[in-house]
Amino acid sequence: MKSLLIPSLLAGCAILFSSTALAAEFSLPAPGSNMVGQLQVVVARHQDTLLDIARHYDVGYNEIRAANPGVDPWLPGAGTRVLVPTQYILPPKPWTGIIINVPERRLFYFPPGQNVVYTYPVGIFRPKWPNPLGSTRIIAKVKSPTWTVPKNIQEEHAKVGEPIPAFFPAGPDNPMGELALETGWSQIFIHGTNKPWGVGMRVSHGCFH
């Protein structure tokens, strides 16, 4: 399993996340098991998309699509039964800190001294962009982050006719969202997003959304 392991967290990390995203919370499984949660089936309303359902149940885009082959992601249709894959295989032990399963595009947080796990879907890096793997630490927590856009990202957007500012102040238009955790890797964060529909996709330039 390709993963990012962040074994040591600053105090209050779970609270920082919870102000912007509702994680799925589970008690840790009994010895000998590595699975939590259970599958669910919901009936789509006429106004629902698969992304609406995925976001409501803290499931990523790739997860909801893989669980429902043949279902139109934009118009499932009223009465369509949608499988929601809210059963998860936990990463290998030790269960401590933050572990991101990159292929699954899912983050697991094991708070110290508690018999629970929190899990969130995450957007990951685009092809040909840095793919951080290994272990690091959370070195800072940032509320209302700003973003100075690296030159290579500015150039990428300019080439496709979508120029972006060189600097984003804190606020609803900031691609880093409302909260960010800075890792020990240069310019790699776990952060919010102003485009929540991209969670579960390959949308970033190295960070985890």
What burial class does residue 184 get, using C-beta atoms within 10 Å of its C-beta: 0-12 exposed, 13-18 middle, 19+ buried? middle
Q: Give CA–CA dist 5/1, Å, rounded.
A: 11
Write out the catalytic residue numbers: 191, 207
Hey, what are 131's tokens? 């793919």
Residue-wise burial string across 33-63, b where 16 or more C-beta atoms lie within 10 A, e elsewhere: eeebbeeeeeebeeebbbbebbbebbbbbbb
Angle at 44 between CA 40 and CA 48, to 5 degrees: 120
φ and ψ at residue 16, rounded to 5 degrees: -60, -45
Cβ 60 vs Cβ 106: under 8 Å: yes
What tokens appear for 75 in the block? 């118009």
- Give the whole-angstrom CA distance, residue 152 versus residue 86: 37
What count of other Cβ atoms lies within 10 Å of the Cβ of residue 9?
20
